[in-house]
Amino acid sequence: MNNRPIYNLNSFYISIGLWGKKEPLDPDVFREAVKSSLQGGARRIWVTPDYLVTEKHWDTLFPFLKGENLGKEQTQ
Which burial class, exposed, middle or buried, applies to 3 when counting CB atoms under 10 A from its CB (0-12, 13-18, 19+)?
exposed
pLDDT, tens digit (0-9, with 9 covering 90-100), for 4-48:
777 776 778 899 999 988 889 999 999 999 999 999 888 899 999
* Amino acid at site 14: I
- Look at residue 71 and tell me whether its pLDDT is greater than 80: no
User: Does residue 57 contact residue 30 with C-beta atoms inside 8 Å?
Assistant: yes
Q: How far is CA 47 from the centre of its chain?
A: 8
Model pTM score:
0.76
Give the pLDDT confidence score for residue 41 in this predicted structure: 85
Which sequence spans correspond to the domains of the chain? 14-65
- CA distances (Å), 33 to each of 7, 10, 43, 67, in order? 21, 19, 13, 16
